Every structure is written in structure tokens, then in C-alpha cells.
């Protein structure tokens, strides 16, 4: 079996850890592609298109560590809480997943142990190492979203998702919009998901964190990945330079959110 996690080394005092929950469409051979045709693994249901390449690009630019999953979200979703009912999907965007249709709790436990757990542990270990050697790191999670969902053409080029801590989200949204980028503020998804990767490693540790999504038609090829990762990097650099990005805090920033609009 291939390793379930890819850890990219970086400076422990870089001040930021990049993570990618849905980096890969890989399913180990013993799972038989979960009974799906190969074409389904090129779709968004299997992984976040462009997100892994953008993560590697940004980690190199900032000289920062990164942690990426090495298994498909169809096998088990690295971003979901361990007891989330959608941790192993039986149906995704109209596709029935035969290999998941009759999975029992023992089967889910095995996937937690082999894939989900090692990924979460790797993120935690990377943060522990950074906390031991440098300023409190911010966490930036990279994802991507489909251009059209159920007939709705999504107008955003990027999305910034967050829950109760706006230390990164608020200035990042402002900076991106100042660069004439159409940004969804908790659109097309809400960043409040208890038990997700950022809740576990950001909210519970008091570390500044944000989830950024690229629209998939913009990052489907290497040229687009480079362009949009650079645009995000240009906006992130001044935001990460702010002291509050590296302070451990349990302040509920919903009040701050109302103040900046």
C-alpha cells in the first residue's frame, strides 16, 4: 500500500502550514476502484482538482511545510469529522459508489485507521514541530469547487471559508477583492463544520486558520494553477505578516465579522 500522507518539509519558523484534504484521487488496488469506472475518478467527487498542485506551489513559495492526503475522498473524506455521517459517501453528485453502498462500521473503522487517522496525525505532528521551533503557525487549507452546481453557474473565482475566527479570513477577503478577484465569503460553502480538519487543528488549538477554494475551471491546467496560486500568495503574504496571524487565541471572532461586513 502506498503511504496515506505526503508531508512536504519546510522551515519550522515559516509561520504557515499548508494542507490539502482532497489532494488525490487514488484508491488502493484492494478496494477495486470502489466498483466505479475510471472516468469517475477524474471528477470532483474523487478529489479537488488543482488543489494539490496549488498547495505544492504555495509551500515552495513560502518555504513552508505542507501536508497532503494521498487517497480519494471517495474512500474516506479526510476533511470530515471522525463521526460525520458523510465520512464515507454512498452517493456523490449522482454517482452511486458500489464499494461504499453496504459498508459497515467495521469497514469504516478500518479506513479511519489506515487513511483518515494518519492524515490527521500528520497535520498535528507538523503543527507540533512548528510550535516547538518558531512562531505559532497559521493554517491554510486548499480546496477547489465546481464551476456549476445543479444548474447554478457559480460567479466566484475563489472562496474563503471560515467559522468563528476571522483573523485570516477578513483581511484575506479584503485583499483579494482589492485585486479585482470575485471572492465568495463562506460561499459556495459555509466554513462552520464541527470536527473538520480546521476545527480540530485550528479552532481547538487557537491557531489562525482559513480554507481557500479555487474554482476548478481556473486551475484545471498547470498554467492556471501557477497563476491562481500566485494571486493567492500575493494576497496571503501581507496577511501572514500581521502579528495576530501568529497568536494563539480562543477569541470568538463573529463580532469582528459583523464589524467588517
3-state secondary structure string across 64-95: CCEEEECCCCCCCCCCCCCCCCCCCCCEECCE
Percent of the chain at pLDDT > 70 equals 95
What secondary structure letter does DSSP report for 33?
A: G
User: What span, in angstroms and rounded, lies between the C-alpha atoms of 136 and 12?
Assistant: 10
Residue 67: CB atoms within 10 Å: 30
Q: What is the pLDDT of residue 253?
A: 41
Do residues 116 and 83 make contact, with C-beta atoms less than 8 angstroms apart? no
What residues does 212 pair with on adjacent strands? Answer: 142, 160
Q: Domain 5-260 belongs to what architecture?
A: 3-Layer(aba) Sandwich (3.40)
Look at the chain and count its residues.
261
pLDDT for 55 = 98
Quote the Cα angle for 138-76-38, to 5°: 115
Q: Please return the burial class of 28, using the count of CB atoms within 10 Å of its CB with bins 0-12, 13-18 and 19+.
A: middle
- Say what the pLDDT of residue 1 is: 52
What is the model's pLDDT at position 96?
86
Grid cell 504555495 in the structure block, residue: 58
The helix or strand, by DSSP H or E, that contains position 185, with its residue range, turns out to be: strand 183-185
The contacts of residue 104 (CB under 8 Å, 6+ apart) are none
For residue 232, give the C-alpha cell. Answer: 493567492
Average pLDDT of the chain, as a whole number: 93
Angstrom distance (rounded) from CA 175 to CA 138:
17
Residues of the chain with pLDDT below 70 are 1, 250-261
Exposed, middle or buried, 233 (CB in 10 Å: 0-12/13-18/19+)? middle
- Regarding pTM above 0.85, the answer is yes
Give, as one character, the DSSP assignment of residue 11.
-
**CA of 67: how far to CAs of 4, 124, 189, in Å?**
11, 10, 22
Q: What percent of the chain has pLDDT over 90?
A: 88
Is the sign of the CA dihedral 47, 48, 49, 55 positive or negative?
A: negative
Quick check: helix, strand or coil at residue 67?
strand
Residue with cell 458500489: 98
Amino acid at each position: 500500500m502506498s503511504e496515506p500522507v505526503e508531508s512536504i518539509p519546510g522551515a519550522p519558523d515559516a509561520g504557515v502550514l499548508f494542507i490539502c484534504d482532497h489532494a488525490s484521487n487514488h484508491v488502493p488496488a484492494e478496494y477495486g476502484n470502489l466498483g466505479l469506472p475510471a472516468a469517475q475518478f477524474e471528477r470532483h467527487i474523487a478529489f479537488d482538482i488543482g488543489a494539490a498542485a496549488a498547495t505544492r506551489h504555495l509551500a515552495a513559495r513560502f518555504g513552508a511545510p505542507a501536508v497532503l492526503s494521498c487517497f480519494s475522498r471517495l474512500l474516506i473524506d479526510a476533511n470530515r469529522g471522525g463521526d460525520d455521517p458523510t465520512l464515507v459517501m454512498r452517493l456523490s453528485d449522482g454517482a452511486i459508489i458500489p464499494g461504499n453502498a453496504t459498508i459497515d462500521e467495521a469497514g469504516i473503522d478500518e479506513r479511519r485507521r489506515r487513511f483518515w487517522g494518519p492524515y490527521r496525525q500528520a497535520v498535528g505532528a507538523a503543527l507540533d514541530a512548528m510550535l516547538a521551533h518558531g512562531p505559532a503557525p497559521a493554517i491554510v487549507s486548499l480546496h477547489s469547487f465546481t464551476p456549476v452546481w445543479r444548474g447554478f453557474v457559480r460567479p466566484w473565482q475563489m472562496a474563503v471559508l471560515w467559522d468563528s475566527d476571522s483573523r485570516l479570513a477578513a483581511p484575506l477577503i479584503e485583499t483579494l477583492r482589492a485585486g479585482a478577484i470575485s471572492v465568495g465569503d463562506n460561499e459556495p460553502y459555509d466554513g462552520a463544520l464541527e470536527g473538520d480538519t480546521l476545527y480540530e487543528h485550528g479552532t481547538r488549538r487557537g491557531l489562525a486558520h482559513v480554507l481557500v477554494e479555487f474554482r476548478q475551471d481556473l486551475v484545471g491546467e498547470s498554467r492556471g494553477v501557477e497563476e491562481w496560486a500566485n494571486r493567492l500568495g500575493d494576497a496571503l503574504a501581507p496577511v501572514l505578516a500581521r502579528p495576530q496571524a501568529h497568536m494563539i487565541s480562543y477569541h470568538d471572532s463573529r463580532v469582528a465579522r459583523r464589524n467588517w461586513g
